[in-house]
Chains A and B, each alone.
Chain A
Amino acid sequence: MAGTGSRGRAERRSAGELESEVLATLWATERPLTPAEIQAEIDGALAYNTVHTILKRLYDKGLVLRDAAGRRGAYRPAKNAAELTAEAMHEALDRGPDPIAALQQFVTGLSPEEERALRELLAGGGA
């Protein structure tokens, strides 16, 4: 029983991770995407059906919308909650002292010479 339970959890978590990946892809691309395009974008590691299932789940949660104006079967991200979050974030950043500064942010500031070095790294691909 315990084994089944933990496997169930693991599967749920990885479904959650896939949802994040599909949602991130839709937000990163500035136009609506079909399941096939999403599948190609996430380097084809996912089965078409899986992408479809994840999109349906995201749709049920109200996180993505079917693109009514454009192509059939294309999806775009729902903006409402994301805009509210952005507002709350800007408000927090402006108010100071910055409550987010205490968090583990992905990246922090750069000096001009660091910036140059990083540009070279990206251009050369010689990481």
Chain B
Amino acid sequence: MRFDVYTPLVLSLLLSVVAPPLARRGAPALAARVLTSAAVLTAAATTWSLVLLAAALLGHAPPLIREAREDGHPVTNPVPEAIGIAAGLALVAVAVRVYRAVRAERRTRRTLRRLCAGHPADTELIVAASEVPQAFAIPGRPGRILVTSAMLRALEPAERRVLLAHERAHLAHRHGPLVTAATLAAAADPLLGPVRRAVGFLVERWADEQAAATVGDRRIAARTLARAALTAGRARTACALHFTDRAVTRRIAALQTSPPPRLWSAAAAVLLLGTVSALLAADATGDLLRQLSGVLN
């Protein structure tokens, strides 16, 4: 139990270390899928481990221990009381973080519904008559694509096709739910923050690759990103924040080389990490139940 219950934490860290290089080098569709699956499994295992650590406090209940001693059961509760209490507090923090993430998600959905108001239900493209260059996919059934008039004016015809193909790829491959899953996993297990960021980057790369394939020209796809980023950058200088994660530059650089290989072995390793944390959590559950039943009987 000692190992099993702490390992999901170590595995979360490990996953966060491998996520960024995988996001940079692997084919985005495969990498995004395995990283999200592993993140969800690991977050569930980590949360469950906290539940187990907190539940192990039950084993400290003096009457139980006394009874156990009388019955001749060795009481080897491996969880010190302080850790059990810390785990309980961490669980409360997890609950608050997940609640906040869900609330933010619902707020976003409400906003998106408002953006679609007044547009015919069977129309894919929603144009916002705005000088803010902006484009994003609105998940749902059917999914919609919102683009502002400023963004449309900035692009050439072939580039507009790239933009639409990119947003369509988000909708067709259900990137919205995928990112939401990764976001909730990172809310439950903050160690997975880098995995959430990697998934966010990967779905953009995935849509870039799809768009490049649709127009049949990686150079036009790269140019579209450059022009859109410059247009958006000009509009944003007023904020003077200059915060950047270099995401666009890296996406453009990726389009200037050939499509990345599917790193099957790396993907399998990532999935293994997720599976191992789930298995260990299950094993720890068995340990705890045995321990408690040993104490109780």
Contact = CB atoms under 8 A, between A and B. Distances in A.
Interface in A26-51: 27-28, 30, 41-43
A24 interface: yes
Contacts of A90: 130, 132
Contacts of A117: 249
Tier of interface size on chain A: 35 or more
Contacts of B18: none
A30 B153 contact: yes
18 contacts: A20-B145, A24-B125, A27-B149, A28-B152, A61-B122, A61-B123, A63-B119, A80-B118, A85-B117, A85-B127, A86-B128, A88-B115, A93-B132, A105-B134, A106-B151, A109-B244, A121-B222, A122-B223
A86 B112 CA distance: 12
B269 to A, nearest CB: 26
Question: 10 closest pairs, A vs B, by CB?
Answer: A20-B125, A86-B130, A106-B135, A82-B129, A81-B118, A99-B108, A86-B128, A110-B233, A28-B152, A127-B219
Interface of B: 104-105, 107-108, 110-112, 114-120, 122-130, 132, 134-138, 145-149, 151-153, 155, 157-158, 160-161, 163-164, 166-168, 170, 175-176, 179, 183, 200, 203-204, 207, 218-219, 222-223, 225-230, 232-233, 236, 241-249, 252, 255-256
Nearest to B232: A107
Contacts of A86: 128-130, 148
Contact of B245 (A93, A104, A108): A108
A104 B152 contact: no
Contact of B137 (A19, A79, A103, A121): A103
B146 A85 contact: yes
A14 B226 CA distance: 27
Contacts of A112: 242
B123 A19 contact: yes
B18 to A, nearest CB: 23
Contacts of B176: 103-104
Contacts of A109: 232-233, 236, 241-244
Interface in A73-108: 77, 79-86, 88-90, 92-93, 97, 99-100, 102-108
A55 interface: no
Contacts of A103: 108, 136-138, 176
A82 B128 contact: yes
Contacts of A17: 124, 164, 168
A20 B115 contact: no
A7 interface: no
A121 B136 contact: no
Contacts of A77: 127
Given A100-B111, A104-B176, A110-B230, A127 B241 contact: no
A106 B163 contact: yes
Contact of A28 (B129, B138, B155, B247): B155
B228 A106 contact: yes
Contacts of A127: 218-219, 222-223, 226, 252, 255-256
A24 B164 contact: yes
Contacts of A102: 104-105, 108, 179, 183
Contact of B152 (A27, A42, A92, A114): A27
